[in-house]
A and B are shown apart, each in its own frame.
Chain A
Amino acid sequence: MTIVKPILLALICGLLIAVTHVQLQHTIADNQRYYEERVLREMIGDLELQKNNDGWLIRQGENSLGQLSATTTEQGYNGIIRLFVAYTNQGEVISVRVTDHQETPGIGDGIELVVSDWVLGFEGRTLTGEHSVMALDGLTGATITSDAVKSAVNEVIAP
Chain B
Amino acid sequence: MNVRTIAQQGLWQNNAALVQLLGLCPLLAVSNSFATSLGLGLVTLFVLTLSNLFISLIRHWLDEETRLPVQILVIATFVTLADLVLQSSFFELHQRIGLFVALIVTNCTLLGRAEAFASRNPIGYSIADGFMMGLGFLVALLAMGTVRELLGHGTLFANLDLLTGLPDITITIADRGFLLMVLPPGAFLTLGCLIALKNWIDGEAN
Binding site for B on A (CB under 8 A): 2-3, 5-6, 9-10, 13, 16-17, 20-21, 24, 27-28, 31-32, 34-35, 102, 105-107, 114
Query: Is the Cβ of B182 less than 8 Å from the Cβ of A106?
Result: yes
Shortest CB distance A47–B (Å): 25
Give the secondary structure class of A's interface.
helix
Shortest CB distance B92–A (Å): 8
Give the secondary structure class of B's interface.
helix
Residues of chain B within 8 A of A9, CB atoms compared:
58, 70, 73-74
Binding site for A on B (CB under 8 A): 29-30, 32, 58, 61-63, 65-66, 69-70, 73-74, 76-77, 80-81, 84-85, 87-89, 91, 95-96, 99, 159, 182-184
Q: Which residue of chain A has its CB nearest to the CB of B65?
A: A2
Query: Is the Cβ of B73 less than 8 Å from the Cβ of A6?
Result: yes
Pick the residue among A2, A17, A31, A102 that contacts B63 (CB under 8 A): A2
Pick the residue among A2, A13, A20, A102 that contacts B73 (CB under 8 A): A13
Query: Is the Cβ of A106 less than 8 Å from the Cβ of B66?
Result: no
Q: Which residue of chain A has its CB nearest to the CB of B81?
A: A20
Residues of chain B within 8 A of A21, CB atoms compared:
84
Residues of chain B within 8 A of A2, CB atoms compared:
63, 65-66
Query: Is the Cβ of B77 less than 8 Å from the Cβ of A16?
Result: yes
The complex places the Cα of A6 from the Cα of B58 at a distance, in Å, of 12
Query: Is the Cβ of A6 less than 8 Å from the Cβ of B81?
Result: no
The complex places the Cα of A27 from the Cα of B94 at a distance, in Å, of 14
Q: Known contacts A5-B70, A10-B73, A106-B183; decide if A35 and B62 are in contact (CB<8 Å).
A: no
Residues of chain A within 8 A of B66, CB atoms compared:
2-3, 5-6
Q: Which residue of chain A has its CB nearest to the CB of B77?
A: A13
Residues of chain A within 8 A of B87, CB atoms compared:
24, 28, 31
Q: Which residue of chain A has its CB nearest to the CB of B85?
A: A24
Residues of chain B within 8 A of A105, CB atoms compared:
29-30, 32, 99
Query: Is the Cβ of B84 less than 8 Å from the Cβ of A114?
Result: no
Residues of chain B within 8 A of A34, CB atoms compared:
91
The complex places the Cα of A28 from the Cα of B76 at a distance, in Å, of 20
Q: Which residue of chain B has its CB nearest to the CB of A12?
A: B77
The complex places the Cα of A2 from the Cα of B65 at a distance, in Å, of 8
Residues of chain A within 8 A of B95, CB atoms compared:
35
Residues of chain A within 8 A of B30, CB atoms compared:
105
Given contacts A24-B87, A105-B99, A106-B184, 14 further A-B contacts (CB under 8 A): A5-B62, A5-B66, A6-B69, A9-B58, A10-B73, A13-B77, A16-B77, A17-B77, A17-B81, A20-B84, A21-B84, A24-B88, A35-B91, A106-B29
Residues of chain B within 8 A of A27, CB atoms compared:
88-89
Residues of chain A within 8 A of B99, CB atoms compared:
102, 105
Shortest CB distance B175–A (Å): 13
Closest 9 CB pairs of A and B: A13-B77, A31-B91, A27-B88, A24-B88, A28-B87, A2-B63, A6-B66, A28-B88, A106-B183
The complex places the Cα of A35 from the Cα of B159 at a distance, in Å, of 16
